[in-house]
Amino acid sequence: MHFIRLVLVAVGAARLSLAVATSRSGLLQRADTQQSIYSASPPAPPAPEDITVIELPLPPVAPNNVIGSCTKVINSRGTGCIGKVTGLGSGNFLPDNKHVVASVIFTGAPAAPDPRSIYTGLQLIIVKADKTTFPNGDPWKCITCGMPPANQLGRVDLMDYPQAFSDGKRVLAGPQVIDCSPFQLSSKKCTPDVTHIYPIRWNTSPTGDGAGGSIRELRLHPEDNHLGFNSLAIGSDGSVSQAAYIGRFVFNKAPTIGTPLSARYDLSNVTALIDPQERAQIYVEGNELKINQSAIGIGELRGFSGSGQEVTYIGAPTESCNIDVYAIHLITGKIRRLTAHPEYVDPVDISPDDAWTAVMDTRGTGRQMWLSGMRGIPPIVDMVATAAISSTRNNGERRFFQPWLIDQYGDRGQYFGQQINGAGDGSPGSVNDPEWNGRADPKWSPDGTRIVYYQAQTVSPECGGINPLPCYNSTEPGGRQERMMMATLTSRKPCTRRAPVPFADVVPWGTPFVPGSTISSPRYIPGGNYTLRGQVSGTAMVEITGGADNTSIDTIAVTYFNYSDDGASILNGGERVTVTTPYGGQNEVDWFSDIVQTGATHGTKTTTPGGLHLSVNVFKNLAIFTGNLTTTLDGTVWYQPANGT
């Protein structure tokens, strides 16, 4: 047996220690769930499998960012250095299963005309994953260093979520495509002179002019011809909304309208992944509230299934305060809940055969249990609180993510998956050191035997100072604070990836995007008093207070009377939540809770007499608490994090 390091959270003088037992590779088992995510009986959970984790090589580290600090003593081959903070963004495998794409920031290069001067700034590299080297002896190769200016017109300084195309010649990196055609990226013939960067443009103008719409969180469809992406909008009231889209790649060699007027990829046949009938998850019939868990509500697109038939996304909560990932079929609109642990999950990747899911999740850390641990509460207050709830998952730059492996049937019973990096001693720098936190996205190899992910070390101010978590020097080469890891599922045999299912542009349940059109604002339930009936027993009396001009919701109060959706646990008591958004992304929350749960689980979810007051910005994830909210489940007490932790 192995153990995740104790996680200490404190509220005032009170402290809670959480020790989570893991198997030889970290199979987390908990008994605090109350329901399976599938109505039909899924098979028994899989046994834990042996997983080995190694670190993939990166360029050497310069001592500082001073010009010329990357000396030949540090890198005798003259192929560049990175800093302690690398700007690392690891991506997926090339189709040969032997290389991984990544973005890094090179620093310390000498000034031109020294040939080493090309190794500077944000660049795309590929890294050997089979312990071999390139002909020059390096286990990595810079693809974009030294490209002629004429080959990178329209280039932007953003290469997040690098994703290789299945042809092995191109990489999606930020809002642009890096192309070494006709050569493989790993070939010695792929040189800067033959590499090009082509920007991606989404036309939102009815006349086709301008720079196009803002796109973020780009994900490549497995058949290479379509792109999924998100677009943010900030309302005049400070609220933040987002819509997800899918469109077809069309290479435009010589555009005559819109910017940039250089070779680029245009997005055509774009569809907003929004139900045109706007059927809501929570809606009103007379004076009753109803919940439709089959309603389509894509909060943020996160990728595609291995076969390309499904879109993965963060959706509206199924249970209150539970942030989960879901998958929806592009044609049928059928929805699957991929995760059901009460902790927070976000990055996700489905295996090439669609049989497994790799996620980055806070499960096992206790980070969110004070807020989300009580199961079976309907997601009523979440209509105003979801943004604030999700923003408490981090402490600024410290994420509490670790990589987990879950089978296709999802969390159920006492099965909550297997920690991919669970087989370690938790010591500083070890593969499961809790101060090395996961980033987005974990990625499967095409042959289904390996998963690559990357991590960042917790550094000041997220440790040290007023934070009781100690800071320690990095054990990585050169004191590097980011690293790229590869997990091998040693008992699995390589498989041949089947061709993904082609997508023909039409999403029957989506809304075709017309340039110049706008996405309608979300419809809010009018202020008033409503009744929500439990699926098995009891009722919830809901009071909704509308915001300014009744175009938003300001406050939700819920009182439970023997309420139960599963017949196993019963809720009584209630809570009241008020949220205001004074400016972009800022949430000011007043939360009062006094819920008692009986039956299969005995628990309470209570605030101190003055309530919990939470101030958090969704773009910064630095929560400031006044007052306390505490959840107790069968004698286990979960406290909120102290301010600054």
pLDDT for 395-420, tens place per residue? 989 999 999 999 999 999 899 999 99
In a domain, 523, yes or no: no
pLDDT for residue 236: 60
Q: Would you call the peptide bond into 175 cis, given omega within 30 degrees of 0 as the criterion?
A: no
Q: Are strands 51-55 and 89-93 parallel, antiparallel or unpaired?
A: unpaired
230 and 94 share one domain? yes
- The mean pLDDT of 554-571, rounded to a whole number, is 96
Cis peptide, bond prior to residue 379, ω within 30 of zero? no
Residues 310 and 447 in one domain: yes
Whether pTM > 0.85 for this model: the answer is: yes
65 and 176, same domain (yes or no) = yes
Looking at the structure, tell me whether residues 139 and 282 fall in a common domain.
no
Mean pLDDT of the chain: 90
Whether 490 maps to a domain, the answer reads: no
The DSSP symbol for 192 reads: G
pLDDT above 70 as % of the chain: 92
CA dist 231 and 504 (Å) reads 22
Task: Give a yes or no: residue 294 inside a domain.
Answer: yes
Tell me if 391 is assigned to some domain: yes
Residue that finishes a domain, picked among 444, 477, 510? 477
Number of H helices, E strands in the chain: 2, 43
Whether residues 447 and 367 fall in one domain: yes
Q: How many domains is the chain partitioned into structurally? A: 3
Residue 134 C-alpha from the chain's centroid: 32
Cβ(288)–Cβ(296) below 8 Å: no
| Any domain includes 337 | yes
Q: In this structure, are 370 and 460 located in the same domain?
A: yes
Mean pLDDT, residues 536-560 taken together: 89
What is the predicted pLDDT for the residue at 235? 65
| Same domain flag for 150 and 188 | yes
Instruction: Give CA–CA dist 104/111, Å, rounded.
Output: 19
Q: What is the dihedral of CA 542, 546, 552, 553, to 10 degrees?
A: -30
Domain assignment of residue 146, given as a range? 55-270
pLDDT at res. 31: 31
Lowest mean pLDDT among 20-29, 193-202, 257-266, 460-469: 20-29
Indicate the Cα dihedral angle 337, 339, 340, 341, nearest 10°.
-170
Residue-level pLDDT at 465: 87
Q: Does residue 145 sit in the same domain as residue 212?
A: yes
Residues 486 and 54 sit within 8 Å (Cβ to Cβ):
yes
Q: 24 in a domain, yes or no?
A: yes
β-bridge partners, 106: 82, 121
Q: Across the strands, what pairs with 482?
A: 456
Residue predicted with more confidence, 28 or 119: 119
Q: Which helix (H) or strand (E) holds 387?
A: helix 382-391
Position 512 in a domain:
no
Q: 3-class SS at 2?
A: strand
Q: For residue 295, tell me if it sits in a domain.
A: yes
Out of 270, 298, 318, pick the residue that ends a domain: 270
- Six-digit token pair at 205? 């103008």
Both 335 and 399 in one domain: the answer is yes
What lies within 8 Å, CB to CB, of 381 at 6+ separation is 320, 556, 558, 575, 577
Q: Which 8-state DSSP code applies to residue 386?
A: H
Contact indicator for 174, 159 with CB cutoff of 8 Å: yes
Q: Identify the CA nearest to 541 among candidates 562, 525, 565.
A: 562
**518 — pLDDT class (breaks 50, 70, 90):** confident
Res 30 pLDDT > 90: no
Which of the listed residues 230, 247, 270 is the one where a domain comes to its end? Answer: 270
Strands 196-201 and 216-220: unpaired
What Rg value do the Cα atoms of the chain yield, rounded?
Answer: 25
Q: Are residues 219 and 79 in the same domain?
A: yes
312, 367: one domain? yes
Model confidence band, residue 22 (pLDDT cutoffs 50, 70, 90):
very low
**DSSP helix/strand/coil, 118:** helix
Query: Are both 245 and 320 inside the same structural domain?
Result: no
Residue from 221, 168, 229, 174 nearest 198 by CA: 174
